[in-house]
Amino acid sequence: MIALLQRVSQARVEIGGQTVGAIGAGLLMLVCAEPEDTPAVAAKLVDKVLKLRIFADEQGRMNRSVQDTGGGLLIVSQFTLAADTRGGNRPSFTAAAPPAQGEALYETVLRLARERHPQVACGRFGADMQVHLVNDGPVTIPLRMTA
């Protein structure tokens, strides 16, 4: 699975002008499933995201996790993270999981995150979404999780 984490002071997802998910300070997690991904890979990704120490401690060093800070987690599906731009000027998205598999793994990520963290919001799989965020730092961390 591929994820792009952005530490935010606030973030929200809108669909058709309506806010469907919003958080204050925390992490915006854009996530993409790949064909070889499994629920076990999704679990590893959620564990890593929740424990990743990218928030400041009392000395200003990145030494605290989203769980340590009690921050929110906004999870948004984004198959374009699997873009292959090596050939030509039009990206290929064949490295992304097929829609049914991608949606099932996205739902697994959401379920696991909600089981392990008290504040989880989300977008809607396959929807045309507008994501609004204020990147804090800025801090942006790419992750790739495999079996």
Just list the catalytic residues.
78-80
Report angle CA 63, 112, 73 to the nearest 5 degrees: 45
Q: Is the peptide bond before 91 cis (omega within 30 degrees of 0)?
A: no
Please state, in angstroms and rounded to a whole number, the distance separating the CA atoms of residues 49 and 73.
Answer: 9
Number of CB atoms found within 10 A of residue 99's CB: 12
Residue showing tokens 């993409």: 32
Closest CA to 7 of 45, 53, 54, 46: 54
